Amino acid sequence: MKSSVSTLGVHDTLRDFTADGRLLVLSAMAIVTGTCGAAAAWVLLKLIALVTNFCYFHTLSTATSYLSHAKLGLSSILIPIVGGVIVGLMARHGSDKIRGHGIPEALEAILIGQSRIQPKVAALKPLSSAIAIGTGGPFGAEGPIIMTGGALGSLFAQFFHLSSAERKTLLVAGAAAGMTGIFGTPVAAVLLAIEVMLFEWKPRSFVPVVVSAIVAMAWRPWLVGPWPLFPHSGIPPMPWWGLALCAGIGVIAGLQSAITTGALYWFEDLFEKLPIHWMWWPAIAGVVVGIGGLIDPAALGVGYDNIGALINGTVLIHAAVALLVVKAIIWVVALSSGTSGGTLAPLLMMGGAVGTLEAHILPFGDAGFWSLLAMAAVLGGTLRCPLTATVFAIELTGDLRVMPAVLVACVASFAVTVLLMRRSILTERLARRGRHLSYEYTVDPFEVAQVSDIMTHPVHTLPASMSTEDVLAFFDSENGVKRHKSYPVVDDAGHVVGMVSRSDVLRWSREGWPKGQTLAESTDVGEVFAGYADELVGQLADRMAAADVGRVPIVDRATGTLVGLLARRDLLRVRAHAGRLERERARPLTIPG
């Protein structure tokens, strides 16, 4: 009989992180991904400018232009309609993956498509977005570039034999590079990757994403322009109760986020009820966009000039009201139609407009300061990423002094949306497709619990000197005692020398019984797959799954003697214990005496 205990992979090799040499390979590949993301951002901005200048100013130029002060006639209503028709045709006959605002589609590729994105998506997404935005669509360029950069990272990864997790790393690295190329916010791009896209916190993914974002930032001055995008240094002297007022701004921003998200999916449900193909929905939305452009041209296009004006505090009340109302209506209708465009810039504008209005009734600070706070808070509440929104506001303005005020507002907005809304603007669409996401990152209880915490002990065993006939009688006659499915076989010293299960006995009965032998002499019991009492439950669970073993004898690492038994059902006790700790409430503190 084989009496060796299988100890493969259970030596003390545990580390704080699971990184290995592949980290260096992915980091080197991230340099290429970062370069591609920055280049894609430059191409997208030039395409948007080209389409805008051609459609509204009738010139062939890639110079940046905005529609805030454009004089539009009735014929301008046709421009977003034509743009909607073109985008609808591209989505129907090219790829429907270009529909939407980018981040949910990237999440879907990660969760469902094993981080594989088709080449045509990488080509059609920026082109369709340039047409949608250039023809007046009230979107930002950041959502499309996140999808485009992610597609380029995915395509680059697909040229090599990478795992699904490694492809995800380069996809997200490309997305972070694209966002950095547009806004010049590498830290916020990395935080967005962590809070929204990666679904993990590992060096394997974190380091390459940082490398990609920094490379894109290095390219940005040469391709796009200087940093920061919207310089600001207007933080006011704040009284002791000032941060409470900032929290109040965050609460209002959270309510605004909830209303905006609810309206978006309400209109999406209305489009779903239309008796025509979804290809025509962007054209229908184009009618609303065109009429909105007649009312307030500033609401059309990317509108980065509006963001700058709001942060500088130069937007008048009537202009802020018009921008808020028109932008909200045309953005919600256009985005719910399934056209191609981003969310970050519109959210910033709508939040900033509310901040401008709030500034006129607040006791201190100028309009620019409160607009900035409201912008960040709306972004943090709508996307459910308060840290990203805080750093994003700082990097956009280059003003580190606003950090405490912005953080308070973003967290307050985040708390409101978490309590009021089941899902965010990014996850609602995925949930409607049957994919529910959870963004609560916690330490896996399997990775902190030891086997000794959940194993069964003492253990019922069979002696190695037991004859095979006695084993048959043992399993055949329970004598009122329910037999286990399997039993460890131990020698006189308490060492495990085998495992005998009910299925083994049935097989022996069917194929021929090794008569006249003891369990120690039998060669059919097999090598023992054992665990250690001080081993982490997660490590043992992985080994059990790989070996397809359901019951494992647990031995003491120092002496090799049997100390317990662990079955698959015992693994459930780890999560049950963690759940109890979550639900249990401590008794109120009492003072003796």
Predicted confidence (pLDDT) per residue in 11-41, tens digit: 455 677 777 888 999 999 999 999 999 999 9
In this predicted model, which residue has the larger pLDDT, 202 or 177?
Answer: 177
The Cα–Cα gap between 185 and 230 comes to 11
Q: Phi and psi at residue 306, in whole multiples of 5°?
A: -65, -40
Helix ranges, 460-501 (H) = 468-476
In eight-state DSSP terms, residue 525 is S
Question: If you average pLDDT over each of 361-370, 499-508, 515-524, which comes out highest?
Answer: 361-370
Predicted confidence (pLDDT) per residue in 381-414, tens digit: 999 999 999 999 999 999 889 999 999 999 999 9
Distance from the first to the final alpha carbon of the chain: 67
Q: Which CATH architecture has domain 242-432?
A: Orthogonal Bundle (1.10)
Beta carbons within 8 Å of 587's beta carbon, 6+ residues apart: none
Lowest mean pLDDT across 212-216, 278-282, 329-333, 455-459: 455-459
In the predicted model, is pLDDT for residue 593 greater than 60?
no
In the predicted model, is pLDDT for residue 199 greater than 90?
no
Q: Is residue 264 exposed (0-12), middle (13-18) or buried (19+ Cβ within 10 Å)?
A: buried
Q: Give the per-residue pLDDT at 589.
A: 58
Name the 3-class secondary structure at 380. Answer: helix
Q: Which CATH superfamily is domain 445-580 in?
A: CBS-domain (3.10.580.10)
Predicted confidence (pLDDT) per residue in 93-127, tens digit: 988 888 877 777 777 777 777 788 888 888 888 89
Q: Is residue 257 exposed (0-12), middle (13-18) or buried (19+ Cβ within 10 Å)?
A: buried
**Among all chains, which residue has been given the structure tokens 């129907």?**
92
Q: Are 305 and 67 in contact (CB under 8 A)?
A: no
Q: Give the per-residue pLDDT at 35.
A: 96
Q: Where in the chain is the domain with CATH 3.10.580.10?
A: 445-580
Q: Give the per-residue pLDDT at 478.
A: 60
Query: pLDDT band at residue 232, thresholds of 50, 70 and 90?
Result: confident
Q: Give the per-residue pLDDT at 1.
A: 39
The Cα–Cα gap between 117 and 150 comes to 8
In the predicted model, is pLDDT for residue 5 greater than 70?
no
Joined tokens for residue 240: 């002791």
Q: Give the per-residue pLDDT at 499.
A: 80
Q: How many CA atoms lie within 13 A of 534 on its CB side?
A: 9
Q: How many CA atoms lie within 13 A of 352 on its CB side?
A: 27
Predicted confidence (pLDDT) per residue in 332-378, tens digit: 999 999 888 888 899 999 999 999 999 999 998 899 999 999 999 99
**Residues 448-464: what's their mean pLDDT?**
85
Predicted confidence (pLDDT) per residue in 246-272, tens digit: 999 999 999 999 999 999 999 999 999
Helix axes 367-383, 403-420, angle to 10 degrees: 40
Query: pLDDT band at residue 286, thresholds of 50, 70 and 90?
Result: very high
Q: Give the per-residue pLDDT at 592.
A: 61
Strands 531-532 and 528-529 turn out to be: unpaired
Closest CA to 6 of 450, 463, 549, 466: 549
Rounded to 5, what percent of the chain is helix, strand, coil? 60, 5, 35
What is the rounded (10 degree) CA torsion for 358, 363, 369, 374?
A: -30
Q: Where in the chain is the domain with CATH 1.10.3080.10?
A: 22-223, 242-432
Look over the chain and give the mean of its residue pLDDT values, rounded to a whole number. Answer: 86
- Phi-psi group of 526: left, alpha or beta (phi > 0 → left; psi -120 to 50 → alpha; rest → beta): left
Predicted confidence (pLDDT) per residue in 529-538, tens digit: 888 988 889 8
Q: Which CATH architecture has domain 22-223?
A: Orthogonal Bundle (1.10)
3-state secondary structure labels for all residues of 274-295: CCCCHHHHHHHHHHHHHHHHHH
Name the 3-class secondary structure at 66. Answer: coil
In the predicted model, is pLDDT for residue 8 greater than 50?
no
In this predicted model, which residue has the larger pLDDT, 212 or 557?
Answer: 212
Query: pLDDT band at residue 3, thresholds of 50, 70 and 90?
Result: very low
In the predicted model, is pLDDT for residue 75 greater than 50?
yes
The Cα–Cα gap between 263 and 271 comes to 12
Q: Are 392 and 377 in contact (CB under 8 A)?
A: no
The Cα–Cα gap between 505 and 503 comes to 5
Query: pLDDT band at residue 306, thresholds of 50, 70 and 90?
Result: very high
The Cα–Cα gap between 84 and 412 comes to 37
CB environment 6-33: b (16+ within 10 A), e (fewer): beeebeeeeeeeeeeeebeebbebbebb
